[in-house]
Amino acid sequence: MHGATVNAFTSVSLTPPLVLSALDRRSRACSHLSDGVFVVNVLRESQRDVAMHFAGRPMDGPVPWVGEDGDHPRLGGAVGHLFCRVWRNYDGGDHVLHVAEVEDLDLRGGRPLLFHRGEFPRLAESDPVWALTLDGHAPSTIL
Ligand SMILES: Cc1cc2nc3c(=O)[nH]c(=O)nc-3n(C[C@H](O)[C@H](O)[C@H](O)COP(=O)(O)O)c2cc1C
């Protein structure tokens, strides 16, 4: 079982549901990911130590693995898990771009861990711009 902290991660396509991650060619994670299945763990705001653990700085307590004996070993406490299968790999310079199909989802909700300029800032409280229109009505009430 292996994990690596990654912030070079984005959605790509809805049909089929594809995501992309860029991994350093020299990393062990890159060789593990070239083929097969993996889980994306979207870490929770409180899981900085877990992020640093999988970036090479071991955490003090136990690593929160769950489902280690099954098909989908993953990290407990995450705000969500994406169960992925590698779809295509592309040359990305000193990184490899892994495009993977999302075969299943497990979304728990909550505040995700952010990374910006070498820090883990907290997500600001804000209005949900997508769910509401500018006049404050839900889109479903617009004719
Ligand atoms: C916040 C954060 C984000 C990172 N994002 C990436 C990334 O997108 N791609 C990458 O290759 N390494 C990234 N790293 C570095 C890897 O986590 C690190 O090199 C890790 O030790 C690789 O482990 P491995 O060689 O054991 O697989 C990131 C590290 C941190 C702390």
Ordered structural domains, the chain, with CATH: 9-141 (2.30.110.10)
How far apart are the CA of 67 and the centre of ligand 1, in A? 23
Atom 5 of ligand 1: nearest residue by CA position:
6
Q: How far apart are CA 46 and CA 78, in angstroms?
A: 9
CB-based contacts of 60, cutoff 8 Å, min separation 6: 49
CB 89 within 8 A of CB 34: yes
Structure token pair of residue 75: 């990290």
Distance 96 CA to ligand 1 centre (A): 13
pLDDT of 118 higher than 60: yes
Which has more confidence, 127 or 116? 116
Proportion of the chain above pLDDT 90, given as a percent:
77
Q: Are 61 and 6 in contact (CB under 8 A)?
A: no
Cβ atoms of residues 99 and 12 within 8 Å: yes
**Ligand 1 shell residues, CB under 6 Å:** 4-8, 22-24, 27-29, 51, 54-56, 115
CA of 90 relative to ligand 1 center, distance in Å: 18
